[in-house]
Amino acid sequence: MPDHETIRNYRWLRPFAHLLQHHNLWHLHRRSVAGGVAVGMFCGLVPGPLQMLSAALLAVLLRVNLPVALFTTLYTNPFTILPLYVLAYELGCRVSGVPPTAVLTLPELHWHSWLRESWQWLEALGKPFIIGLPLLAVILAVVGYIVVRVLWRVAVILRWRARKRPKSS
């Protein structure tokens, strides 16, 4: 992990250096890492290139591990985003009571109109997707937080037990 001085010396980070000095942003301990995973899981479902930016902003705001939050957003990628969006749509259908009717295949995108075409596709998914996506993001964040806390606790207990065992020479 970079130290505070290294961060302070990055020219493009100087305006934000005072925000990046909190120890939780860089140290690996159970609360900070679990929070970073939760932020990353939540922000991983933020559409498009805003995932890392939103994860960085939330990590600084909530004072959780920044590199962990940024790295965790990578669970969404071109191979996983469509199944996650389908899951969000299905979850939204179940919660809102709307029967699934939308076509869940991605439209053919063209470089000059990809934003408009993507927006039209999202509009076609409608209310179930708008409800399901944030709901899935919250569920993934909570599950990620709990899993990290439990695994961290199990690892600590195993290390304690290993230390208590007499060493056989």
Tally the domains of the chain. Answer: 1
Note down pLDDT in tens along the chain; length 169 residues. Answer: 555 566 666 665 655 665 666 667 778 899 999 999 999 999 999 987 789 999 999 999 999 999 999 999 999 988 898 889 889 989 999 998 888 775 556 566 667 776 777 677 677 777 888 899 999 999 999 999 999 999 999 999 999 998 888 777 5
Angstrom distance (rounded) from CA 102 to CA 129: 10
Cite the DSSP H helix spans in 13-113.
30-43, 50-62, 66-72, 81-96
Structural domain contains residue 97: yes
What pLDDT was estimated at residue 104? 59
Answering whether pTM is above 0.85, one says no
Which residue type, as a one-letter code, is found at position 38? A
Structural domain contains residue 60: yes
Q: Which two tokens stand for residue 150?
A: 């439990």
Structural domain contains residue 169: no
Domain residue limits at 137 = 4-164
Structural domain contains residue 70: yes
Give residues with Cβ within 8 angstroms of 137, minimum separation 6. 41, 42, 43, 44, 45, 46
